[in-house]
Amino acid sequence: MSNATPQLRFLDRDSSILAFNERVLDWARRVDVPLLERLRFLCIVSSNLDEFFEVRAASHLTAAQGKEQKGSYTAQSFTALSAVAHDLVARQYVLYNDQLLPAFEQQGIRIVSHGERNAAQRRWVKAYFEKAVRPLLIPVGLDPSHPFPQVANKSLNFIVRLGGCDAFGRENEIAIVKVPRVLPRLIHMPNHGEEKGRLFLSLSSVIRAHLSELFAGRKVGEFSQFRVTRHSDLEVDEDDVKNLRTALRLGLEQRNYGQAVRLEVSAGCSDYLSSFLLTQFNLPELALYRVPGPVNLGRLTQLVDLVNDPKLLFPRYKACYPAQLQLGQSFFERLKKGDVSIHQPFESFDGVLAFLREAVNDPQVLAIRQTIYRTGTDSELMLLLREAVRRGKEVTVVVELKARFDEEANINWAEMLESIGAQVVYGVMGLKTHAKMLLVIRREGRRLVRYAHLSTGNYNPGTARMDTDVSYLTADPLLTADVDHVFVHLASHSRLPKLHRVLMAPFQLQRKLLEKIDLLAEGALLGKETRIVIKTNALTDEDLMLALVRAGQCGVKIDMIVRGACMLPAQVPGVTDNIRVRSVIGRFLEHSRVFYFRCADEETLYLSSADWMNRNMLRRVELAWPVTDPVIRQRIIDECLVAYLHDGRDAWDLQPDGTYLQVNPADPAQRHSAQAALMDRYSASRARGI
């Protein structure tokens, strides 16, 4: 294949991330979505924006402040992204105030503001404030001996401008009140007299109503809530640390006080107070977000749990036990007959837990090896590993300490397992271990037999109920031997032997994918029918994108199902005519990675832990493995690829200019959801006892 680069301008990655959140926000706008679920999607957008600012904004901001940055970070990029972010936030609050709040009131659910409360309600709020809130508040008046306090990342605070003099006759006019994080942000208020419905209060409104009582002898003038978001991506120089775990613990302590990147204030905040805060946090005007409502919409997810009305939620979906498994059947006996795939969350993650549970309880199992990336703080899986150690099995755990925002949980699990005798390793310096693999070694007669579980997603029962992923159980000797080699490599850093089935990053995954794309391009030039379908969470790797463009120009038909950031423009005349890109945003978070290649009658399908991003290909330990069983392969093609290519309700198609157009077929019969169809299919299977 020629290495000529086609005339192509990639889309901006960070703009693409914000565009993804616009598609998520659409679920909050949809009137066919239950009301509490609409609120939940609104809150998801807020949480996503928090992470965007914590991880992606600092370089743009620093460039805007005149400091040179590597890459495409400029003052112009900061201005452009700020405009998009401001527009997205404004639409969130319009939706919240003009649609969701009135819809909740129609259901008898109200968040009662201070100005709306009657006398009885104000008395109740006063009593609640005195009993539960006031003892936790410490107002800080600013003066030379009390400079502006350290304000933690995403903490909620009040800034108050005071009149008069303090107890020492000084005119220090600014005070800060931190809202305690230990208190719930929403409070259920009992009905008084003839009141009907379910009434709630925001904690901030309770404090706002009693601010003056915190400053005896002073007049409270201007005030506002505020919240600062800080850069929170932990940066540890791994070449200069002797103990990564200790270095990360120290980094976690400082994460809450990194560079400020965004300031949120109430819409009515005075120019004087907002300017004062911008100066304190060294932020430009574009980093200021004035919001007409709760300063942190994300915390409104509490209302979903407080109301918990089935009529206002999605119909409860109960995942069926994996179709290829039978309750009570030995996994080891089943896997001798062939591989097993589990399509989560339509099928239950309980199958994976049952596999590990059997391994822990089986006296013939001698060793268990597992990678840990995001297991959560309360994990049955980790407790099973602890039990395996107690039973005398050789347990090796590869813990990724730098799993963003899960670092503390992973450190705690690592220390717990290490303290009871498990062998804990931290992979390879400089590379995140993102591969999801579990290996069981069992004595069977005079032989040691390997069994493995591989997955596109994390070993986390919670996210397994919300994310679409594919789990793969196998006793294939070549595949399980490859998994064994990878574990040995991660623990010993010895040279990796030739792998028979697995493609592993950072060594050959990207190269092998490039070879497969180029081979299909050559086949297309010879007149063969060729096809590539890729399902991934992000597409930002330039080498892979350029290879796709070249293949498309040779005649390969290419479909990319990319949930989030995508830098490859689709359907650009003369450049990417043969490439279609779509994003599917559904009730569940699309998370599975599936790679399909076909040339004439020869087809290959890979499952993977890796997104098509440069970091995943070259700076992480990732796995991709082939699905060799033809029945399972066709099942995954049908459920993970074909169903999504024909989605007529939750899909968005990427346009040549980088915008997304929601799919809206003229024929109502085609307006179906892939996820809804899969839920129906598996529910029917459960009802039939299949």
Per-residue three-class SS string for 376-410: CCCCHHHHHHHHHHHCCCEEEEEECCCCCCCHHHH
Select from 439, 368, 432, 436 the least CA-distant residue to 400. 432
Asked about 434 being catalytic, the answer comes back as: yes
Q: Measured between alpha carbons, how far is 172 from 615 in angstroms, rounded to an integer?
A: 50
Instruction: Write the CA distances from 404 to 38, 56, 373, 485, integer angstroms.
Output: 27, 13, 9, 27
Q: Is the peptide bond before 139 cis (omega within 30 degrees of 0)?
A: no
Q: What's the predicted TM-score (pTM) here?
A: 0.92
Residues 558, 562, 563: CA angle, nearest 5 degrees: 160
Q: Which residues of the chain have pLDDT under 50?
A: 1-5, 236-242, 248, 252, 403
What is the pLDDT at residue 242?
A: 45
Q: Which CATH architecture has domain 331-501?
A: 2-Layer Sandwich (3.30)
* Nearest partner of 616 among 543, 549, 550, judged by Cα: 543
Residue for token digits 């994108």?
Answer: 545
From residue 584, alpha-carbon distances to 85, 267, 361, 663 in Å are 22, 34, 41, 10
At residue 462, the pLDDT reads: 86
Distance of CA 208 to the CA centre of its chain: 33
pLDDT tens digits, residue range 131-152? 999 999 999 888 766 688 889 9
DSSP per-residue codes, 437-498: EEEEEEEETTEEEEEEEEESS-S-TTGGGTEEEEEEEE--HHHHHHHHHHHHHHHH-PPPPP
Rg (CA), the chain: 27
Domain segments of the chain as ranges: 112-312, 331-501, 505-687
| Interatomic CA distance for residues 294 and 292, integer angstroms | 7
Q: Which pair of structure tokens corresponds to residue 151? A: 């304000």
pLDDT at 3: 47
* Location of structure tokens 């915008």: 659
The full length of the chain comes to 690
What pLDDT score was predicted for residue 598? 97
CA pair distance 46, 62, nearest whole angstrom? 23
Rounded distance between C-alpha atoms, residue 118 and residue 307, angstroms: 23
331-501 and 505-687 agree in CATH topology: yes
Check if CATH label 3.30.1840.10 holds for domain 112-312.
Answer: yes
- Give the bridge partners for 369, in sequence order: 396, 439
**Domain 505-687, CATH number (from 3.30.565.10, 3.30.870.10, 3.20.20.70, 1.10.3720.10):** 3.30.870.10
Both tokens of 417, joined, read 């397992």
Burial class (CB in 10 A: 0-12, 13-18, 19+), 685: middle
What does the alpha-carbon distance between residue 9 and residue 124 come to, in Å, rounded to a whole number? 61
Instruction: Report d(CA 487, CA 504) in Å as an integer.
Output: 12
From 434, 453, 485, 489, active-site residue: 434
Q: What is the DSSP string of 2-32?
A: --PPPS--PPPHHHHHHHHHHHHHHHHH-TT
Q: In the structure encoding, which two tokens stand for residue 685, read together? A: 């299977």
